[in-house]
A and B are shown apart, each in its own frame.
Chain A
């Protein structure tokens, strides 16, 4: 048996509040696509940063090709032959592809030579890219190709990919897998970080599962089922969702021909959006991020009031120019994608954060009402009730929002908006970065709200989630919204095609026929 490419033994890294890695061992063979599976916060990212030299472990050994190594920084990691593609791209929007790649390279090369090298690698792996294009004109998938080519230029023996598919359409994921398999066949090792079970089962040959900083199992994912993998990942199985059929009621939200110009240079224009959400139904909007979701949600919530007043009708009243507070009074509640900093103020307590959207604890009458006096006691009780009902793990109503994990804060924020008894609830990325248990709980709460007759609009990048929740589905691509698909019509491959805006050609075809 040949020597392992990478061998970690007993890696431990402690942070003040948490042990991120606790005696972690990992073995990667040459030519192997090795998955590291775990929930958010399981310690995957810390482990990768240790391998890449960005974080120094407190204890443990790293051996690369049989040699014990001390990787002190990413430069040393690259010199050894370790490259990493991060989840969040580090590209400058205003520079061209070649200029971006050039920044990380030896200064002795000319821009011409860099472009040449990019084209070489691109044709070798079928990663189609034009070196002279400015980065801001690229799609997210193309930006990822740039990052991968950049990583490949140093001819790495080990390539680390951190959640590479979170921004890709299903078709683009397939293309990426072809490239990764080709790389592996050349004898390169790949460490593939993900929490998506079906991808790991389709791509990887070995899988190390992590939970709460420890390794809970090493297996061959091709031999496992989704259930057995998630058992290793979370320790228990999430409850199945019970979806009861229900007939939808009267329309609560009508969006009619909403068009909006972008308000920042890298935003997206919205074109002629038509959308209807009825009482007692969940409408989903699928799409790769950066296709107008942000702009549409800001217009719907009232954070952007530039839309035509009549383009948005909430229960027979035009509300296009209304502020978020006024829309909320009319029953439109919104849970934004960014929890810290938008949905909640990080440095304030959970109780204080209630005041962003709830006014039950503010005096309404008499002199105190005039002052807007806060009843701190009732605010405290209100927060405690939400914490109890939604099983939020927090140090009480006075815990600072930033001290909560992503999942627990999201449970609190969803609870805050649901408890307001909205007529329409809009949720963006309801379970992004949320662990499996909390995700199931949040989805169940959204369905219960639907069953109680509330209109629910969910915008998400997780297709599985949308297929599970929605009664009807739209796809957003390049600022345009597709026609609605019923739950029965929707399937992964069709929606994947629509994510690239392909329904428009289809429509044209139908019109012609």
Chain B
């Protein structure tokens, strides 16, 4: 029988091999899933893993979805590394989109062409405000930040619905729950004509570099993480846990808010009830699959984005439900958690022992 044996030291090899094995297992289970659904598994894999990267347009779409995932995950990595459990990035994303839309709706034909910067700034502020509520309640009343941040997601969605069904509804919109389309001047600069990908991707990549430097090369980043690794050591050193809490929430809220603003002023161009697309929750998976490492998260964000696009294609090409996206995301996360066992344990084949 197979037995797990504890390793003397965490395996460096499996630290990197584990996500790859998890991906392989996810693919294998995906094949089984397609067969069980009576679909051609090769066609199914093609839809998920080849179609999203086969040409420039596909890459553009991949990046359009990967950018918000990466931005949010970067912020969440700061939280999770400092033992702050913000799982309400979805709400901060929605609030960022609302603030950004509020600013975008004030634009008219004479507005400066740099106005998009104000929109993004408003998004950042919106996300920070929403995350700040959770931080404040934690700081002042020791309220559990997991529950508070999660519940604020639903509050944010209600605020969004109130606005698009009420005061911000487009009077010329045939009573659809949506705001009017933003002025062209508010468009986030695109990288290429005809493709939806915009400068947001550079912001996310700058975030990757910035976070890497912060975490691994600055004293503040070190102090931030000690609180997560060993709270008593942080207290002993004199690193403030309150400062770490606020920084984690404001950075992650700001990043999620920025993602929301980029989304609404980029591809969406108006506020609708469909703004919350689950990026905030998927980013939790992105963060952990990427090992909370800024560079690792670039790859996991692209992978997660593939699943989003694959799910949509599976719907149109194969006639499968779009919830396949969630199935793949969940499979990947659970496989990763299972494979991580191998970092601290080795598998050993043992002959069954006689029990006397």
By a beta-carbon cutoff of 8 Å, the part of chain A in contact with chain B is 15-17, 70, 301-303, 323-326, 328, 334, 336, 338, 341-348, 352, 355-357, 359, 362, 371-374, 376, 403
Contacts and interface: CB of A to CB of B under 8 A. Distances in A.
B1 interface: no
A355 B229 contact: no
B195 interface: no
B206 interface: no
Interface string B210-245: 000100011110100010011011011111100000
Given A70-B356, A338-B232, A346-B230, A325 B238 contact: yes
A438 to B, nearest CB: 22
A356 B217 contact: no
Given A302-B238, A324-B238, A336-B236, A348 B8 contact: no
Given A16-B6, A355-B219, A355-B222, A344 B235 contact: no
A324 B222 contact: no
A328 B238 contact: yes
B193 interface: no
Q: Which of A334, A347, A356 has the most CB of B within 10 A?
A: A356
Q: Which of B7, B222, B237 has the most CB of A within 10 A?
A: B237
A374 B8 CA distance: 30
Contacts of B235: 303, 324, 342
Nearest to A356: B237
A344 B356 contact: no
Given A324-B235, A346-B229, A374-B222, 9 more contacts: A16-B8, A303-B236, A323-B240, A344-B230, A345-B230, A347-B229, A356-B237, A372-B218, A403-B9
25 contacts: A15-B8, A16-B5, A16-B8, A17-B8, A301-B236, A303-B236, A323-B240, A324-B236, A325-B238, A328-B238, A342-B230, A342-B232, A342-B233, A343-B233, A343-B236, A345-B233, A346-B229, A348-B229, A356-B236, A357-B237, A372-B218, A374-B217, A374-B218, A376-B217, A403-B9
Contacts of A403: 9
A483 to B, nearest CB: 30
A15 B218 CA distance: 38
In the A-B complex, list the 4 residue pairs whose CB atoms are closest, starting with the nearest.
A325-B238, A324-B238, A372-B219, A17-B8
Contacts of B239: 325
A352 B237 contact: no
A15 B6 CA distance: 9
Contact of B7 (A16, A326, A342, A352): A16
Given A338-B232, A342-B232, A371 B238 contact: no
A324 B229 CA distance: 19
Contacts of B217: 373-374, 376
A374 B219 contact: yes
A347 B217 CA distance: 17
Give the interface size bracket for B toward A: 20 to 34
A342 B217 CA distance: 23
A341 B233 contact: yes
A101 B222 CA distance: 47
Contact of A345 (B5, B226, B240, B356): B226
Nearest to B9: A403
Q: Which of B8, B219, B220, B230 has the most CB of A within 10 A?
A: B230
A461 to B, nearest CB: 20
Contacts of A347: 229-230
Nearest to A334: B236
A323 B218 contact: no
Q: Which of B218, B233, B236, B240 has the most CB of A within 10 A?
A: B236
Nearest to A342: B232
A357 B232 CA distance: 13
Nearest to A70: B356
Nearest to A358: B237
Contact of B229 (A328, A334, A338, A345): A345
A343 B218 CA distance: 21
Contact of B220 (A334, A336, A372): A372
Interface string B102-113: 000000000000
Nearest to B229: A345
Nearest to A372: B219
Nearest to B233: A345
Contacts of A334: 236
Contacts of A342: 230, 232-233, 235-236
Nearest to B237: A356
B219 A362 contact: yes
Given A374-B217, A374-B218, A403-B9, A323 B238 contact: yes
Interface string B5-21: 11111000000000000
Contacts of B218: 371-374
Contacts of A357: 237
A341 B230 contact: yes
A348 B216 CA distance: 12
Nearest to A327: B238
B232 A341 contact: yes
Contacts of B9: 17, 403
Interface in B7-53: 7-9
